[in-house]
């Protein structure tokens, strides 16, 4: 069979090069294909002259596939697909254009882009869930609406008050903000150590106002240090101390904790659990799965560069996006290595 197909290919090549006429190619190809049984059941019926597809598996599969596509499309259009119960947790930082900041530029999402992203999610069938709904989901497997999304904001920048009032509240969206309680200057001291500009954090009064606007206050530690680098008592101090700070500021005791820089280890997870939190978040790009570790919940970080297809891929396929990023990074590093070895210019 392979030999016949190969010789048909060589004849076709000869036709393209003008050495054999098209008619000869057709006659010869059909003859060879008949011999080779490449398409055993698709030849015209001798009496009727019509094609006889009665036993062609390929054709049957084609129509069966087309019928399945039509079936599932109609079901989807009618809203009958089973609801997804994998929540997506998005992690934003400042909702502000920080393109002039040498450190924070990638993290500052301009307000217009942020509002457009929320509207895109609403248009594409995502449902914003409240921190209460999320707590019930991880605590007692409570059901969630279709395509659930929880919004979170790290670091507790002062701009969040305006965002909650002008962008979230008009859309009826509740969210979760993780604040650092031990900054003496009331600014992002941990970023300034790396050369970032000074940005004001929410004051104690503003945190209360924010909670009244539907943004629950969680803890992002007292000092924003990487918890795996701390010893046991320091880890507990950051987890339990920040909860005590918030309670002392007339706020409800925090239920959720976000690890600074997204890093955690067994010791830090134990410290957060022992400090009485219900759950904690890292920065692994993935959906939250039922039965997963509630003290290492994934979140998808949204950056200023997440526009168009980047944003839609991140929220529709966060795991795939993370793998694509790793692959892209790996290829770029490899090309850099090759470039260093053999300069091209």
| Cβ-based nearer residue to Zn ion, 144 or 279 | 279
Task: Read off the tokens for 259.
Answer: 């690890």
| Cβ-based nearer residue to Zn ion, 148 or 260 | 260
| Cβ-based nearer residue to Zn ion, 259 or 311 | 259
Q: Which residue has the tokens 């000074």?
A: 198
* 308 Rama class: left (phi>0) / alpha (psi -120 to 50) / beta: left
Smallest distance from the beta carbon of 234 to Zn ion, in angstroms?
Answer: 17
Beta-carbon-side half-sphere exposure of residue 137 (alpha carbons within 13 Å): 24
Smallest distance from the beta carbon of 225 to Zn ion, in angstroms?
Answer: 11
Torsions phi, psi of 128, nearest 5?
-75, 130
Distance CA(131)–CA(153), nearest Å, equals 13
Smallest distance from the beta carbon of 93 to Zn ion, in angstroms?
Answer: 7
| Cβ-based nearer residue to Zn ion, 135 or 258 | 258
Q: What does the per-residue mask of binding to Zn ion show for 124-163, with x meaning CB under 5 A?
A: ------------------------------xx--------
Beta-carbon-side half-sphere exposure of residue 290 (alpha carbons within 13 Å): 10
| Cβ-based nearer residue to Zn ion, 144 or 176 | 176
| Cβ-based nearer residue to Zn ion, 126 or 277 | 277
Distance CA(40)–CA(56), nearest Å, equals 8
Smallest distance from the beta carbon of 322 to Zn ion, in angstroms?
Answer: 19
Distance CA(276)–CA(87), nearest Å, equals 23
| Cβ-based nearer residue to Zn ion, 118 or 196 | 196
Smallest distance from the beta carbon of 260 to Zn ion, in angstroms?
Answer: 5
Most distant CA pair in the chain: distance in Å? Answer: 94
Smallest distance from the beta carbon of 203 to Zn ion, in angstroms?
Answer: 18
Smallest distance from the beta carbon of 154 to Zn ion, in angstroms?
Answer: 4
Beta-carbon-side half-sphere exposure of residue 74 (alpha carbons within 13 Å): 6
Does 238 bind Zn ion (CB under 5 A)? Our answer is: no
How many chain residues are in contact with Zn ion, going by CB under 5 A?
Answer: 2
Residue 277 buriedness (CB in 10 A; 0-12 / 13-18 / 19+): buried
DSSP string, 71-130: HHHHHHHTT-SPPP---EEEEE--SS--TT-TTTTTT---HHHHHHHHHHHHHTT-EE--
Task: Read off the tokens for 200.
Answer: 């004001």
| Cβ-based nearer residue to Zn ion, 91 or 135 | 91
Smallest distance from the beta carbon of 194 to Zn ion, in angstroms?
Answer: 12
Enumerate the β-bridge partners of residue 177: 153, 217
Chain residues in the site for Zn ion (CB under 5 A): 154-155
């Amino acid at each position: 069979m392979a030999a016949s197909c190969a010789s048909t290919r060589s004849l076709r090549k000869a036709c393209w090069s003008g050495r054999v006429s098209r008619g000869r190619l057709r006659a010869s190809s059909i003859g060879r294909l008949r011999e080779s049984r490449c398409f055993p059941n698709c030849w015209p019926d001798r009496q009727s002259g019509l094609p006889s597809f009665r036993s062609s598996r390929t054709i049957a599969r084609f129509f069966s596939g087309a019928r399945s596509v039509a079936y599932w499309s109609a079901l989807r259009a009618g809203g009958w697909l089973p609801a997804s119960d994998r929540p997506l947790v998005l992690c934003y930082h400042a909702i502000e254009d920080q393109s002039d900041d040498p450190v924070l530029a990638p993290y500052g999402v301009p307000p217009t882009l942020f509002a457009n992203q929320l509207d895109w999610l609403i248009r594409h069938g995502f449902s914003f869930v409240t921190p209460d709904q999320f707590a019930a989901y991880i605590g007692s497997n409570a059901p969630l609406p279709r395509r659930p999304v929880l919004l979170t904001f790290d670091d507790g920048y002062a701009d969040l008050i305006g965002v909650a009032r002008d962008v979230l509240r008009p859309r009826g969206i509740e969210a979760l903000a993780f604040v650092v309680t031990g900054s003496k200057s009331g600014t992002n001291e941990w970023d300034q150590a790396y050369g970032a500009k000074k940005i004001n954090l929410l004051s104690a009064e503003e945190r209360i106002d924010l909670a009244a606007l539907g943004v629950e206050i969680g803890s992002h530690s007292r000092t924003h240090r990487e918890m795996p680098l701390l010893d046991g008592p320091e880890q507990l101090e950051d987890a339990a101390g920040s909860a005590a700070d918030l309670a002392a500021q007339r706020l409800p005791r925090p239920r959720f904790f976000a690890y600074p820089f997204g890093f955690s280890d067994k010791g830090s997870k134990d410290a957060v659990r022992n400090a009485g939190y219900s759950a904690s978040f890292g920065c692994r790009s993935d959906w939250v799965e039922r039965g997963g570790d509630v003290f290492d919940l994934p979140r998808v970080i949204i950056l200023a560069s997440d526009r168009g297809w980047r944003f839609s891929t991140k929220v529709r396929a966060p795991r795939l996006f993370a793998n694509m990023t790793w692959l892209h990074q790996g290829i770029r590093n490899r090309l850099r290595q090759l470039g260093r070895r053999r300069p091209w210019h």
